[in-house]
Each structure stands twice: as C-alpha cells, then as structure tokens.
Structure 1
Amino acid sequence: MAPPENIPVATYLFKRLHELGVRGVHGGDFNLTALDLLPDAGLYWVGNCNELNSAYAADGYARIKGISALITTFGVGELSALAGVAGSFSEHVPVVHIVGIPNTISQRNGLLLHHTLGNGDYTVFQNMSRNISVTSTILNDPHRAASEIDRVLSTCWARARPVYIGLPTDIVLKEIPATHLNTPLDLNLPENEPETESEVVNEIARLIYNSKNTIILADACAIRHRVLDELHELVEKTHLPSFVSPMGKGAVNEELKAYGGVYVGDVSRDEVRQHVDHAELILYVGGLQSDFNSGGFTYRIAKKNTVEFHSDHMKIRYSEFPGIQMQPVLRKLLDKLDYSKIQRHPIPDISNTIPSSVQESDSQEINHAWLWPRVGQWLREGDVVITETGTSNFGILETRFPKDVTAISQVLWGSIGYSVGALQGAALACKEKYPERRVILFVGDGSLQLTVQEISTMIRHGLKPIIPLTKRHRYTIERIIHGMKATYNDIQPWNHIGLLNVFGADSSNAKSYQCESKTALENLLKDEKFSSAPYIQLVEIFMPWQDAPRALIKVGEVAAKLNSGT
C-alpha cells in the first residue's frame, strides 16, 4: 500500500518525535483529539497523575533517551508543569512541551474560554514559557506547520533545552504533505570556524605538552551536550587523572585507574581537593558552577590554569572563543595529540571501603558513613541511579560506580520531589531501550510526600524500580542548612510499607521491606532475588534523624553562610 500523500499536523509532529527516539509521551492533562493520533506514529500515552509530575518524568525520560515529549492543556495544565520544565531548562535537558490550545477562531476573537485569564489574551502563557524555552511556536498556520515543527525540534536537540509548541484544536487534523518526512531532521551542529578552531586545538595541545600535572574535570554539560564518547576517549588515551563534579557524576568510567573522585571545592575529600587545587592545567569539560555543584563556589580553578570546553564557546586561560563548540574541538584534539608527550601524576585512591571505625563498631544503626560505601559495593554495571534533591544527592558522592552507571539528580534546580517523577520517566525509557538495566531511586520520606502518586504510574506500566527510602520523619537537608530542631522541618509519618498496596500493586509483583539495622539491610543487599529487580520494590531504611552525609554537612555550613550574607 502506498503511503498517504497527506497526514494531519499532529501526526507529522508525532512522527518527527518518533524519529528522535521518543516512544512514551508524558502528560497530565491533554488535547484528546491529538492523543487519538499517537498510535499512528508509533507512540503511546503515559498518563501521569498531574502535570508537574509529568514534567519531572519527561526530564528523567530525556536523560535516558536523549529527548522527551510532554503534552499538557492550555493555561492550567501548562502552568502546573512549568516548575518541572524550568528545571529541565536550568539543567540542559531537552524536553518538547506540546500545549493543546484553543482553536484559531477563539484566539482571533478573544473569547473568554475556560482555562484563560478572562482577558482575551491567548499569548500570555506562551510568553510565560519564553524564558524557559530555547524557542517556541504556535502552529496557527498549517502551511508553515511542518517547517516550524522541524525548526523547533532540531533546536531542542542541538541546544539540549526545552522548547514550546502550541497546537490549536482546529489544526490537529489539518492535513499537510507527508513528503516532508522523507527528509530527516537536520541534527548536525554548525561547523566551527576552521581557522579559529585550528588555533584553539593547537594551543590546547601545546599547554598539555608543557604541563607537568594536567587533570580532566568533567561536569554536567559533558553529559547533556553529548560529548561522552570524546570524553571517554580522552581519559582512556591520555590516562590523565580524571575527576567529576556532583552534576558530572557518571560522566567518567569510575572503574578506570585514572578516575580520581568527585571534586566539590572545599566540600571534596581532602585528597581530591589537594590534587585538583594544585593541578598545573585543568581540562574542564562542560562546566556548570552552581553553588551546590561547586561546594558553595569554593572551586580553586584559576583561569590561568584552565581550558574550558562548552557547547557554544571555548575558554583558554584568559581568552574566550565564542561560537567554537567543544565536540569538534575534542575530536580534532584527540586526533592531533602525541600521547607520548603527556606527563602524568598519581591519583587519589577512591574506593567503596567502609571506614574501619564504622566497620568495627558494634552499633547496628544504619548511618551514612556505612550506607553509601556499601551501596557502592552493591551497584552493578549499567545501573541507573537516581538521587533526590536532598540527603542522597550528597551521599552518592561517597560511592565509586561500576562501569556505565547513569546518575540522575537535580543539583542546580533543586526541586524537592523531582526524583520520584524522574524515576518513572527513566524507568520507562529503560523499559523501552535498556530492559536489562536496574533503575534505583534513593529518596527520603520528606521528598517522597511531594510526588508519591507517580508510584501508581510505575505500577500501571509494569516498571520495576528499586526504591530505598530513608525514614526520618523530617526534611534532613533543610535541617542541615537551618533549623535542626525547628517544627517547620517536620513531616507527618507515613506507613510506607503499605504504599504499594495503596496504589494497586499486585502482591505477587511487588514487595516492601523494612530495615532497622545494618544486619537486616546487609542481608537484603545479599539477596539475589531482591537485587535482580524482578518487580517494583520499596525498602524502608531507618536512620538516625540527625545523621547526614559528610558532604551535606559541609555544604550546609557553606549554604548557611551564603543565605545569611556573611
């Protein structure tokens, strides 16, 4: 059968999303007519409990699949999702936000429809999204729909940030030529200016040859802007000591001898901080120096010692090169370097060894000094590890990952509750593309209360995450920053052991555990059935309420000073 000559605008949009690798489409409220067309493009509707959760889920999905799609309705739906979309913008995550909006006639006549502000202005919500989208469009003209969809989607992919597409109800079924789909989306980055690029590559090579102590520091944008292949090759060919930031965790294969640990300025382990602070040359790939990512801005990275690789510019010491992108620079540098001329220094020994003082203690309390090295021992190659904006974000810094572990966290935007939605999206993406990978969420009982409904979405889609939940009846990260005993940091205790049943899980395909001692948790981690992740599992881990990871305590001290202005 010959392919159709014309297809609906919405089908064209969905087929382009399919071309980019999207299969599951997230959302909490929607344009129903458009959703009817999803199967025609090989897509399916996920259906989240609310729009904010769906935005978090789309973020998690995109971090696994490379891009995601989120559909909400006009006004009330899209605004509910914006806190999540803003987080994706902040952290360089490509999410396509599609909004079902009123028909073009209602827009022209300024009708006072439901979900509007009652002022006849149909551009107000698009304008609200402009500062958290790299580009946007309203598909009011079907004749321009294909070119606008292609432009916006290509920009989303290339810039690795959210975009906004308004889809009016009367445009959904308007037909346009299907032949546009015969030309693939142009996802290529524009070429660097050759002469400038050559000068940049030559200068970086010269600095490396002349340095007696060069290190590599990988940060968030190395992951988001898709230079991990080049980064891995650089680490493996140079054998230079390689470190990551909290947001860059997982960017470097931590099984390599060259891996030196997590650098967080003054919050780092002493041996890591000393090594980075005293480097003669730092190759800083994809840097994003936010407060929590840099130990409260305590990075000791001097411009005179640093080469910065970014998605849209390069910096070499005191000189900046706008428009020179890091991916082609890294590729040409790898081809040019004479690796025999590179000098190397020994690196810190970072392991998952539990401190002897903790290991030898008779206490059965599960504390952070014991938990995180033990988690590092339990993790497996290829795991996806999600940590909540809070205690676990800092605890995971004390682990050394196996090969190919993907770390998902929200260190910069820092929205409490993000991780549960992100877990749903990441687990769904893995089900589609990497079904053999375990997906694990470390979350506190306080954070869970914000987005707990998404556990029901996970159950509905047959997802199999492992959810270790630390139970302490309070917001620990807030207490560390301010108000250790303040009642405003308390929460209502829940009966977590019954949550999976509350959300309708079949007891034969779901299980909950309680671990109140090291022995209980140790036995669970050694249980192969549990560790094989056969179905969704929740583990309630009881911990001392005042205990916190080493890094969080130090960051809390810095954050308290920054907040007070001292």
Structure 2
Amino acid sequence: MSEITLGRYIFERLHQLKIDTIFGLPGDFNLSLLDKIYEIEGMRWAGNANELNAGYAADGYARVKGISAVVSTFGVGELSLTNAIAGSFAEHCAVLNIVGLPSVNAQAKQLLLHHTLGNGDFTVFHRMFKNISQTSAFIADINTAPQEIDRCIRDAYIYQRPVYVGLPSNLVDLLVPSSLLETPIELSLKPNDPEAQEEVIETVEKLIKEAHNPIILVDACASRHNCKREVAKLVDITQFPVFTTPMGKSGINESHPRFGGVYVGSLSRPDVKAFVENADLVLSIGALLSDFNTGSFSYGYKTKNVVEFHSDYTKIRQATFPGVQMKEALNKLLETVENAVGPNYIPAPVPQQKLINSPAAPDALLTQEYLWTKVSSWFKEGDIIITETGTSAFGIVQSRFPNNTIGISQVLWGSIGYTVGATCGAAMAAQEIDPSKRVVLFVGDGSLQLTVQEISTLCKWECNNTYLYVLNNDGYTIERLIHGQNAGYNDIQPWNNLQLLPLFNAKDYECIRVATVGELNELFANPAFAVPDKIRMIEVMLARMDAPANLVAQAKLSERTNAQM
C-alpha cells in the first residue's frame, strides 16, 4: 500500500512501539477511528467499562511497557478521563490520550452538536487538558497530521507524561503516505550540555571521594525514566548502601546485599532512619518528595551534601543544572566512579529487615502486620505488585520484593480505586510479555467499590495471571485514622465480594476467604495456588481499625496538617 488512512497510521506507530492494547470506550466521534485497530494484526481493543477505568488501565499498562494509549469521544468521554490523566501527569506515566472530535466543518460552523456546551466552543476541553498534558495536538490539517502524531508520541515517551491528540472524525479516513512509517520515531534523549555535565560529574566525584558514609536513595522516577539499570550498576560499583522511598519500591533489587530498606522520614524503621539520616552524602535518584512519600516532609538529613538526579535537571546542594538529565549523567558517572570512591569509605553492614516479628497461633485472627511480612515469602521473581492508596500502599513497605519486580502504586496522586483499573492494564501488558507473569493486586473493600467494573474487563480477556486480594476491613480505614473513626461517611455498604467473579462471568476462577493466620499460611504453602492459571479473588478479613503502624503515624501527621491554618 502506498497510502494508508490517518487512523491506521496512528495505530501502526503504536504497534511499532509494541503497544498492542488500546484502552477506552466507543463514542460516535471515534467509531471510524476504532475500526482501524482491527486492521492491525496482533492489536486489540480492550473495551473498558468506563472512561475513568480506561485511563487507569492505560496508566498501569504504561508502567509495565513504557507508553500506552486510550481513546475516548469528545466532551462526555474525555472529561471522564481527567482524573486518570491528571494522575498520569503527576506520577510520570506516558499515556497517548486520543480524543475523537466532531468534523472540521462542524467545528468551523460552530454547530450546536451533542456533547458540546451549547456555545459553539469546540476547543474548551482541549484547553482543560493542556494543564495536565506534556503537549497536545488539535489536528485540523491532514498534511501535517502524521508529523503532529509522531511529535506527540515522542514527547509522551521522552518526558513520561500524558499527551493529548484530538482527531476530527472526517480526517481519520483520509489517506497519508505509508512510506512515513519506514522512518522510526526518534525516541532518544536530547544530549546533555557537555560543560554542565562535566561540572556535575566532577563535583559529584569530589563529594564521593570525601564521603565516609554515603548512601543512594532511589525514588519513583528512576523506574519511570528507565534508570533501574544505571542504579543497579552504581550500587555494584560503589558498594554504597541503597534505600528506596515508598514510591521507589522495586527500583532496586531488594535481595541485593547492599539494600537497607525503605526510608519514609520519621515513619521509617528506627535502624533505617538512623542509617540514612547519619549519611554524609546522599545520592538521590528520581525523587518525587510528596507528603506520603516522605512521612509528611519529615526527612532529617544531617548533611547538606545532597545530589538530586532528575529526569530533566540535576541539583547539587543549592546549585541547579537545568537540562542535565539523569539518564545520560548517571551513565557518564558510571565510567569513572570506581576511581572516585576514596579510602575514607569502608562498606558498613546495612539494616536487615526482619520479615516475621513473632510466630502466631494458627487460629489467631489475621492482622496487617502479619499479612505484609508473610506475603513476602509468597512473592516470586517477575511479579507485578499493585497496591491501593490506603492500608495496602503503607503495608507493602514492610514486605520484601523479589528481583525484577514491578511495583505499582499511586502514592502522590492518591486517587482511591486507581489500582483496579491499573491492574487491568498491567495484566494485559503482562499477557503480551509473558502469560506466566503474575499480576497481584491489594485493594481495600472501600476502594474496590469505586472501580469494580474493570474486573469485568479482566474476565473478558481471561487475564488468568491475576490475583485480586481484597482487604475487607469494613470501610475506609485510612480515612477513619485521619478523621472520623466512627463517622457514617467512612462506612460502606458491605458487598458479597466473592460473588464478583461469577457475576462478571469469569470462566476459570477461584474465590477464597481467609481470616486466620493458619488459613493464610496454608494458602501460601499450596503450590497450586502459586500457579497463575485462573483469575483469583482472595478476600482477607481484617479488623476495622487494624492498620500498618506507619499508616497510623502518617494519619496523625495528615490530620495535624489538615487542621493547620
């Protein structure tokens, strides 16, 4: 074919990047566009339950494969996506947000169409998305449309942020040269300024040479911006102790002998807190220093020797180097850092995590403390582990991830219900990579009720690699801890959660309820349970106010912050 439709062009570009699942919902302004998905062998239309869930799913897929795409329709569809897209923007996830628009002629004539505000303004929703998008294209000219699409895909991937592409319904069937597909989209980073980078490397190496107690602290953007390999090499070469933040969990192999644990400011384990805060040099990689990620900003470094490597700049003490991107800077540092580690540095033993504090009787009721330490023994290499905002996101800090784990949470944006949609996206991505890769969700009974419909999509696509742990603690425990322990607004209508898989017409499934230590131990010891051959829901019964200790402490800090004038 010498020419292809513009609609097919955009999906062929995504297919070149191994993006083979497209999320979203149909609407009359995108139907012709959706036809083009079925023209590409190996590409599928997820067909989500609603746009919000589709956005969450696209976010989860992007965290596994590096970029994703979601399609909605003008106005009513795209506005339902805003919460999900804002979360992807905040947490650095590359989502191509494709919106089917009314035709160019309809826009020019300012027709009083459905899904509009009735004022002839067809750009109002595009303007809303500009605040939560890295870039955008409101396409009106078929001649420049392929270049605009390529630009948006590139920016999404490079900056790991959502981009907005508006496609008028009359343009998607117009033809463009297929030869344009022969030139791959340029996805390499712009080179750092050589002089600025040289100054960064020289200064960092000087600080390393003088350090007695240096540490490496890994945060979320190390994973989002594809720097996990660089982090691992830096630890191996220097033998510096390495810690993660809650959002950075899975950014380093936690079985590495130099891994010391998770640092959350004042909410850290005492030995971790003391070790990190007594460092005389902190190499921070990919930091996103939000309140829940830092124990309400309670970092207590005793040194000013802090180096921050970010995706688009580097900061050393009070000096900022705009444009010195961490990917290239870290690779440059790795070339010579071995020679920079001075005689002052003698590797000291790092804190060791004790996974089970004490044995519990088989008939003892389950607690968060026991669950989050015991589950570490059941995790296996390659798992994708997803934890909902609330008790799960805080409890997972106590667990240990195996190597090559992908950890997904939304600690910064913190939209409850996010993880059910994200699990759908992650599970479909895992199917494309390796069907034996397990996807493990931990979600509270309250959060589940916001986005439960996406379990239907998991069932539709037979995502039998999925484990859905529903922590039933009778409502919004995280909110009860912050304020209103017995308030009615923190209650939920109880559901028969184990009826959800048959309700959504799952084919191969298993439903299990555990309430005691013995039941959980027996489940984790069962080899058949560890095999991802069916979709499983495990309802974990917990006391209403039982919560991880660090969440209890964080809730007190949050309540105090909320009450401040």
Q: What's the offset of the Cα at 1:227? A: 1.0
Structure 1 regions of 5+ residues with no counterpart? Answer: none
Does the CA-based 8 Å contact 1:219-1:286 persist in structure 2?
Answer: yes
Q: What's the offset of the Cα at 1:302? A: 6.2
Does the CA-based 8 Å contact 1:102-1:168 persist in structure 2?
Answer: yes
- Give the structure 1 partner of residue 95 of structure 2: 95
TM alignment of 1:452-471, pairs within 5 A:
452-464=452-464, 465-471=466-472
Deviation readout 1:45-84 (Å, 9 max, x if unpaired): 0000000000000000000010000000000000001100
Range that drifts further, 255-264 or 295-304 = 295-304
Range that drifts further, 361-370 or 542-551 = 361-370
Q: 2: CA distance between counterparts of 1:362 and 1:222?
A: 41
Pairing 1:346–2:348 present: yes
Q: What's the offset of the Cα at 1:517? A: 1.1
Pairing 1:313–2:313 present: yes
Q: 1: CA distance between counterparts of 2:544 and 2:352?
A: 28
- Quick one: which amino acid aligns to residue 472 of structure 2? K
Q: 2: CA distance between counterparts of 1:347 and 1:296?
A: 28
TM alignment of 1:214-363, pairs within 5 A:
214-301=214-301, 304-339=304-339, 341=342, 343-356=345-358, 359-360=359-360
Deviation readout 1:283-322 (Å, 9 max, x if unpaired): 0000110010010010124672200001111111121111
SS in 2 for 1:558: helix
- Quick one: which amino acid aligns to residue 191 of structure 1? P
Q: 2: CA distance between counterparts of 1:450 and 1:112?
A: 33
SS in 2 for 1:217: strand
SS in 1 for 2:143: helix
Q: What's the offset of the Cα at 1:202? A: 1.2
Does the CA-based 8 Å contact 1:305-1:317 persist in structure 2?
Answer: yes
Q: 1: CA distance between counterparts of 2:129 and 2:213?
A: 45
Does the CA-based 8 Å contact 1:285-1:309 persist in structure 2?
Answer: yes
Deviation readout 1:382-441 (Å, 9 max, x if unpaired): 111000111100000001111111100000000000000000000000000122211000
Q: 2: CA distance between counterparts of 1:310 and 1:8?
A: 39
Pairing 1:35–2:37 present: no
Q: What's the offset of the Cα at 1:352? A: 4.9
- Give the structure 2 partner of residue 557 of structure 1: 556
Q: 2: CA distance between counterparts of 1:396 and 1:440?
A: 12
- Quick one: which amino acid aligns to residue 26 of structure 1? F
Assess, with a 3 A threshold, how the Cα gap between structure 1 residues 392 and 344 changes in structure 2: closer, same or farther: farther
- Quick one: which amino acid aligns to residue 438 of structure 1? R
SS in 2 for 1:480: helix
- Give the structure 1 partner of residue 47 of structure 2: 47
- Give the structure 1 partner of residue 487 of structure 2: 486
Q: 2: CA distance between counterparts of 1:362 and 1:552?
A: 26
Does the CA-based 8 Å contact 1:516-1:541 persist in structure 2?
Answer: yes
Q: 2: CA distance between counterparts of 1:327 and 1:368?
A: 38
Q: 2: CA distance between counterparts of 1:36 and 1:259?
A: 49
Q: What's the offset of the Cα at 1:143? A: 0.3
- Quick one: which amino acid aligns to residue 519 of structure 2? A
Q: What's the offset of the Cα at 1:8? A: 0.7
Q: 1: CA distance between counterparts of 2:282 and 2:243?
A: 10
Deviation readout 1:479-514 (Å, 9 max, x if unpaired): 1111111111000111112111111112xx101011
Pairing 1:22–2:23 present: no
- Quick one: which amino acid aligns to residue 13 of structure 2? R
Does the CA-based 8 Å contact 2:61-2:425 persist in structure 1?
Answer: yes
TM alignment of 1:53-92, pairs within 5 A:
53-92=53-92
Assess, with a 3 A threshold, how the Cα gap between structure 1 residues 28 and 352 changes in structure 2: closer, same or farther: farther
Q: What's the offset of the Cα at 1:447? A: 0.6
Q: What's the offset of the Cα at 1:362? A: 7.2
Q: 2: CA distance between counterparts of 1:144 and 1:28?
A: 27
Q: 1: CA distance between counterparts of 2:295 and 2:347?
A: 24
Assess, with a 3 A threshold, how the Cα gap between structure 1 residues 24 and 238 changes in structure 2: closer, same or farther: same
Does the CA-based 8 Å contact 2:239-2:347 persist in structure 1?
Answer: no
Q: 2: CA distance between counterparts of 1:76 and 1:531?
A: 42
Assess, with a 3 A threshold, how the Cα gap between structure 1 residues 68 and 124 changes in structure 2: closer, same or farther: same
Q: What's the offset of the Cα at 1:152? A: 0.9
Q: 2: CA distance between counterparts of 1:348 and 1:336?
A: 25
Q: 1: CA distance between counterparts of 2:527 and 2:412?
A: 36
- Give the structure 2 partner of residue 123 of structure 1: 123
Deviation readout 1:79-113 (Å, 9 max, x if unpaired): 00110011000100000000001000000000010
Q: 2: CA distance between counterparts of 1:427 and 1:239?
A: 35
Assess, with a 3 A threshold, how the Cα gap between structure 1 residues 54 and 487 changes in structure 2: closer, same or farther: same
Q: 2: CA distance between counterparts of 1:563 and 1:303?
A: 30
The RMSD of aligned alpha carbons is 1.3
Q: 2: CA distance between counterparts of 1:279 and 1:435?
A: 43
Q: 1: CA distance between counterparts of 2:533 and 2:75?
A: 40
Does the CA-based 8 Å contact 1:352-1:374 persist in structure 2?
Answer: no
Q: 2: CA distance between counterparts of 1:525 and 1:463?
A: 21
- Give the structure 2 partner of residue 163 of structure 1: 163
Does the CA-based 8 Å contact 2:362-2:519 persist in structure 1?
Answer: no
- Give the structure 2 partner of residue 432 of structure 1: 432
- Give the structure 2 partner of residue 137 of structure 1: 137
- Give the structure 1 partner of residue 448 of structure 2: 448
Q: What's the offset of the Cα at 1:209? A: 1.0
- Give the structure 2 partner of residue 202 of structure 1: 202
Q: 2: CA distance between counterparts of 1:363 and 1:44?
A: 47
Q: What's the offset of the Cα at 1:351? A: 2.9
- Quick one: which amino acid aligns to residue 66 of structure 1? G
Question: TM-score, normalising length from structure 1?
Answer: 0.97
TM alignment of 1:400-419, pairs within 5 A:
400-419=400-419
TM alignment of 1:164-203, pairs within 5 A:
164-203=164-203
Q: 2: CA distance between counterparts of 1:303 and 1:227?
A: 25
Does the CA-based 8 Å contact 2:436-2:532 persist in structure 1?
Answer: no
Q: 2: CA distance between counterparts of 1:489 and 1:529?
A: 37
SS in 1 for 2:144: helix
- Quick one: which amino acid aligns to residue 504 of structure 2? F
Q: What's the offset of the Cα at 1:350? A: 3.0
Identity of aligned residues (%): 46
SS in 1 for 2:410: coil
